[in-house]
A and B are shown apart, each in its own frame.
Chain A
Amino acid sequence: MKKQTKNNLITYAIVIAAYIILEILMLTGNLSSHMKGLLVPMTYYAIIAVALNLCVGILGELSIGHCGFMCIGAFTSAFFSRATSESLPAAPRFIIALLIGIASAALFGFLIGIPVLRLKGDYLAIVTLAFGEIIKNVINAFYVGIDAKGLHFSMKSAMELNMDGGDTIVNGAMGITGTPHDANFTIGIVLLLISLFVVQNLVNSRDGRAIMAIRDNYIAAEATGINVTSYKMMAFTISAAIAGAAGVLFSHNITTLTASSQYFGYNASIMILVYVVLGGIGNIRGSVIAACILYLLPELLRGFSTYRMLIYSIVLIVMMIVNWSPKVIEWRKRTFGRIGAGRRKAA
């Protein structure tokens, strides 16, 4: 088996093993309700970290507004599920909502990519930063209602919708209330596995190699016949689409969805970037592990309020050393590489 294939299988195995362990803990009543509440968020943060790593690590373009795509996915899918919560059964409703969330986020990724990705330089970082903030503010001023006559939109207030009776679905800064809780830990894990499958397979394909070639040297990539702009568009759109899937999980796991800075602002996007950097840029498995640890840790440390941030910072530093220090990387390769390869040194 190829080294890469084996590596990918290890990633799936780690995710599945973590899932089984957590499920057993849950069934035997060993998981507090606080902990149970963290499981779905853990999966969507892992998913968006994978998405961002595709953009930053594989494509080599910095995005600091990825939570904006998550926001798009969250709102479009929640809108659909909320509007059809009485007319459709849960399973098809969630599947359609998921596709809507993914497609909408992909569309926005594509539209942003058209002007920005043909430029060389760090323009994407600036534009995605602005995008994330704008999308949040626009949604906060957005009112959508539905009645017998169809859909009504307004950017002013719920009154301006001019409905007779009907139902206000998106209520400005109050967001969407009453989205059905269609997401759960199992669905989150399945979506994480699918995201991993897509990204890891992409990396080991013609398109993935072209994308990484552009990252490593776009001048040489062009001279080798690679269409730089279209491959950049492809990678960025897929990345946005996966972030949208994370958003669908997000919105179907809470009762009230608002476009708040806490979840969709640039701070949140930077936090995802921290997961990616500490997990290792371009290292997909690392992103998943870093996202899970770094998301859970501050939550689990709430009990030790005084030392919480201290412990968190120490973990950040340790992770940075483990993933970035050349000496440690070499040591890791020597120790674990040999076990992995199952080879013994000849005397």
Chain B
Amino acid sequence: MALLDVNNLCISFGGLRAVDNFNITIEKGELYGLIGPNGAGKTTVFNLLTGVYKPNEGIIRLDGEDITRKSTIEINHAGIARTFQNIRLFKNMSVLDNVKVGLAERYKYSSIEGILHLGKYKKIEKEMDDEAERLLKVFDLDGEIETNASNLPYGKQRKLEIARAMATNPKLLLLDEPAAGMNPNETGELMDTIALVRKEFDMTILLIEHDMKLVSGICEKLTVLNFGRVLCQGETRQVLADPEVITAYLGE
């Protein structure tokens, strides 16, 4: 059974069919790329997958479970975590606390214990700190746990957003243009991080990217979106050789 199975997904905004008859199947452990020109509907697909928008038609299944009409929160608990095209960190909170917000669903104590700092509070907080630091180490952010998220340099903010998403222990990680606005150096480093996350956590990843070179370098499969429709889908090599893709996207 595929980890993510999307069937005939459609949404219109007024007269605009932003996503039309979208299908995708992602197997566990895959690193999958979603590409397409500006305004093709890539971010809208992410918003549909995470319940920010409700589709007009179609079914989304995660691990066999129908999550189509669920709320963003329920979908996160079901196992999808994401990052955003324009970074959305908890910017007045520390790097550590950003990650601990993501851990909150798995490490619990009651509100009363939280306010009194009694009972399981100390033990669970310690466990959260350890887990958060372990995670931040993977992203090379463990030297900056006390820093305010907004004071991090741009590249590290992107990484922190991925770390926070990983903290919710997802089955599927959605990355919306993780390399946007990065210089080639930072991009290279980020690609290494993504590869590492995939290996370390055995993670399934769906990634939106503009940079063709970057995508072809790390993704096994691609879906090309154009004007809300799937133009081409399959193994990276085949997709990049497709004449329609070349004229619609690469040819520009």
Q: Which residue numbers of A lie inside 8 Å of B, CB to CB? A: 3, 198, 201-202, 204-210, 212-213, 215-217, 219-228, 234, 282
CA distance A115 to B242 in the complex (A): 54
- 16 A-B pairs, CB-CB below 8 angstroms? A201-B115, A205-B114, A206-B109, A207-B111, A207-B114, A209-B97, A209-B101, A210-B101, A212-B92, A213-B93, A216-B93, A217-B88, A219-B52, A224-B81, A224-B101, A225-B104
Residues of B close to A228: CB separation below 8 A: 73
Cβ contact within 8 Å between B101 and A208: no
Is the C-beta of B1 less than 8 angstroms from some C-beta in chain A?
Answer: no
Chain B residues whose C-beta falls within 8 Å of the C-beta of A198 in the assembled complex: 115
Bound-state Cα–Cα, A207 to B112, Å: 10
Q: Contact between B90 and A216 (Cβ–Cβ < 8 Å)? A: yes
Q: A201-B114, A202-B115, A206-B114 are in contact. Are A225 and B88 (CB under 8 A)?
A: no
Residues of A within 8 A of B50 (CB): 223
Measured CB to CB, the closest approach of chain B to A81, in angstroms, equals 27
Complex contact A226–B73 (CB within 8 A): yes
Find out whether the CB atom of A216 lies under 8 angstroms from the CB atom of B146: no
**CB contact under 8 A between A224 and B115, given known A212-B90, A217-B89:** no
Q: Are the C-beta atoms of B89 and A225 separated by less than 8 Å?
A: no
Contact between A205 and B81, CB atoms less than 8 A apart: no
Q: How far is the CA of A219 from the CA of B50 in the complex (A)?
A: 11
Contact B72 A222 (CB under 8 A): yes
Residues of B within 8 A of A213 (CB): 90, 93, 101
A202 nearest CB neighbor, chain B only: B115
Residue of B nearest to A234 (CB): B111
Known: A220-B84, A222-B76, A223-B81. 6 other contacts (CB 8 A): A3-B146, A201-B116, A206-B109, A209-B101, A223-B50, A223-B82
Alpha-carbon separation in the docked complex, A202 to B111 (Å): 8
A205 and B73 alpha carbons, distance in the complex (Å): 20
Provide the residues of chain A in CB contact with B107, threshold 8 Å: 206
Chain B residues with CB under 8 A of A208: 114
Q: 8 Å CB contacts to A: which residues of B181-235? A: none
Residues from chain A with a CB closer than 8 A to the CB of B146 are 3
A282 touches B90 (CB 8 A): no
In Å, the complex CA distance between A234 and B112 comes to: 12
The CB with the most chain B CB atoms within 10 A, among A198, A208, A209, is that of A209
Residue of A nearest to B149 (CB): A216
* Contact of B123 with A by CB under 8 A: no
- Cα A224 to Cα B88 in complex, Å, equals 11
A212 to B90, CA, bound (A): 8
> Complex: how many Å from CA A343 to CA B92?
25
Question: How would residues 117 to 151 of chain B score, 1 for a CB under 8 Å from any chain A CB and 0 otherwise?
Answer: 10001000000000000000000000000100000
Contact of B90 among A220, A225, A227, A234 (CB under 8 A): A220
B91 lies within 8 A of chain A by Cβ: yes
* Of listed B76, B81, B92, B164, residue having the most chain A CB within 10 A: B92
A224 and B167 alpha carbons, distance in the complex (Å):
9
Distance, CA A220 to CA B88, complexed state (A): 6
